[in-house]
Chains A and B, each alone.
Chain A
Amino acid sequence: MNNNDKTLVKLDGLSKQYTRGKITVEVLDGLHLSVDRGDFLALMGPSGSGKSTLLNLIGGLDQPTSGSIEIAGQRVDNLSASELASWRATHIGFVFQFYNLLPVLTAHRNIELPLLLTHLSRKQRKQHVEAVLEIVGLADRAHHRPAELSGGEQQRVAIARAVVSDATLLVCDEPTGDLDRDTADEILELLGLLNRDHDKTVIMVTHDPKAAEHASHTLHLDKGTLVTGEELA
């Protein structure tokens, strides 16, 4: 393994093509990228630039057409569907724009979902859930259903669900896209807190330059390739 310990995500010659009917669309084109442990990376770019596709590949939700993906020194682009599922359960936390909580379950139960796949006892699961509820500041909202929570609170629950299994890497797809400015700032501060104080590496896709300011650095994606600041200018 030639990956140094500092690097958490390493993408090498990553390409992704989609075929729709007779048309093949090149979404990512031979992309190289390294993300260090502890980074808070914002990925920006216009619609259709391949941001979400890149995030899906890093998160193990999709497979590349060519190239390799290494996360924490492990190749994940050649894992089977069930191996990828198990890998996601232990390594990746996902945060989506629309929270994607199960509507009939309480905040506590939603956060507990990833833990059902572990061998933790009911008591241990409860302790884990209560701990993350404290971190996201929703200890008093544990028994509320999503419909009884504000958008910001729902996103906090989604973040708690993403970190409850102690995933190393948080992948966030437009986490503030559905929130007002103040609430968005609170969510970004929470992500920053998880990054700084809880050693979570965060990769966040966003359209919002204000959101990107919370990241330690920003990369721009255009037509499937990464572009530098000079190129943008």
Chain B
Amino acid sequence: MKYLILLWAGLARRKVRTTLTLLSVIVAFLLFGTLRSVVDAFNIGVEIAGADRLITSGKYSIIELLPISYLNRIESIEGVESITHQTWFGGTYKDPTNFFPRWPVDIDRHLTVFPELIVPPEVVQAFKRNRQAAIAGRDLAEQYGWKVGDRIPIIADIWPQARGGAWEFDLIGTFDTTLEGSPTLEFWMNYDYFDEARAFAQGLVGWFTVKVAKGTEAQDVARNIDAMFANSSNETKTSTEKQFTLSFAKQMGDIGLIMTGILAAVFFTIVLLTGNTMAQSIRERVPELAVLKTLGYTNGGVLALVIAESTLLTAVGGAIGLGLSTLLVTTMGDALASFVPGITNSVQNIALGFAVAVLLGLVVGFVPALRAMRLRIVDAMRG
């Protein structure tokens, strides 16, 4: 602790330069924390996907539609416990930024395949009675301030109505989930109503979600499903729910790769910037370092001082940046929930970020520290 004054002496020598370097480190770790949180949010989606469910979609693309008649045929395959279908509804609620998944569902099949979703029986009954009924996730309803009985208009994009105009649904209740950390942000409407009212593609669905019976090998079931439709006009590709979620997210691009690319560019710049700052700082302080050696500070001691100085700079910058990213992710969490639900800056992320900050300090400080260590007092004093 007593050497802190020497670290301060080094850093405070050029306050403006140190402040600017610190700011760049802060921004780098603000980005680190925030982008890692986004990547994690996508991965959480993957992790919470049930391992006992399979998705059967078009062989070549998830936007290829499949006949709903496949449902009964898939259901007849051994090892299939239950099945439902899903179709990406798209559409816009008031403003394009109000993004949330909307599904036309067969409510009984849907709740059988997704037992983690909880809907009160009276709501299920009301949903069946009212063709224009809709059920929203509790979090979604809270986000938009919806109440039971509200009429929710959705402007069509993929699926226009045959009669034209916006789709309108009556909110008759909300659903919850038993999965911790998984926000309920979906919006369901009756598939039968959707199928009849849409302008085209009647009898076609986006994909099937298959629940595999316990004790059955999911791989065998997937192979049997795809074999059943091989060489037909609508061949299928069956994958685990996890793989499907990943490929869905990757429609936007490889999120992990994009984020890693951005972070690599940021950190490459930071290494150059901070490394240059440290090198410049050491060059300017050659006589001062020589004085320290004159006073009895060893070569190793001076090496340690310079490395500690750069590490202190990056560690403080890293801590502030990670703290700000946590604040940002927390405060922006609700706004981002529609795009990346469940976003949070995890303790592991923060710990990793701090470790990177310390490592960064050690790396950028090493070369200037080596130069300081090798400094000959006599040469340095001579200038």
Contacts and interface: CB of A to CB of B under 8 A. Distances in A.
Interface of A: 56, 59, 61-62, 81-82, 85-86, 88-90, 94, 96, 100, 102-105, 109, 112-114, 116-117, 122, 161
B295 A88 contact: yes
Given A56-B378, A109-B5, A100 B296 contact: no
Given A56-B378, A62-B378, A104 B295 contact: no
Contact of A100 (B5, B291, B299, B301): B291
B12 interface: yes
A85 B297 contact: yes
Interface in B279-336: 287-288, 290-301
Contact of A117 (B9, B12, B296, B300): B296
Contacts of B13: 103-104
Contacts of A104: 8-9, 12-13
Given A81-B298, A114-B295, 20 more contacts: A56-B378, A61-B294, A62-B377, A62-B378, A82-B298, A82-B299, A88-B294, A94-B294, A96-B291, A100-B291, A102-B9, A102-B288, A102-B291, A104-B13, A105-B5, A109-B9, A112-B5, A113-B6, A114-B296, A117-B296
Contacts of B9: 102, 104-105, 109
A61 B292 CA distance: 12
Contacts, number: 63
Contacts of A81: 298-299
Contact of A90 (B291, B296, B299): B296
B378 A88 contact: no
B129 interface: no
B94 interface: no
B272 interface: no
Contacts of B293: 85
Nearest to A82: B298
Interface residues of B, number: 25
A61 B376 CA distance: 9
B296 to A, nearest CB: 2
Contacts of A114: 295-296
A85 B5 contact: no
12 contacts: A61-B378, A85-B293, A89-B296, A94-B294, A94-B295, A104-B8, A113-B6, A113-B292, A116-B2, A116-B5, A117-B296, A161-B295
A53 to B, nearest CB: 8
A114 B296 CA distance: 7
B377 A61 contact: yes
A66 B381 CA distance: 23
Contacts of B60: none
A119 to B, nearest CB: 10
- Top 8 A-B pairs, shortest CB-CB distance: A89-B296, A85-B298, A104-B12, A100-B291, A61-B377, A82-B298, A114-B295, A88-B296
B3 A100 contact: no
A113 B377 contact: no
Contacts of B288: 100, 102
A113 B2 CA distance: 10
B287 A116 contact: no
A82 B2 CA distance: 21
Interface in B247-306: 287-288, 290-301
B8 to A, nearest CB: 7
Interface in B5-60: 5-6, 8-9, 12-13
Contacts of A89: 295-296
Contacts of B290: 100
Contacts of B301: 85
Contacts of A105: 5, 9
Q: Max chain A CB contacts within 10 Å: which of B8, B13, B295, B301?
A: B295
B284 to A, nearest CB: 11
B297 to A, nearest CB: 7
B17 to A, nearest CB: 13
Nearest to A112: B5
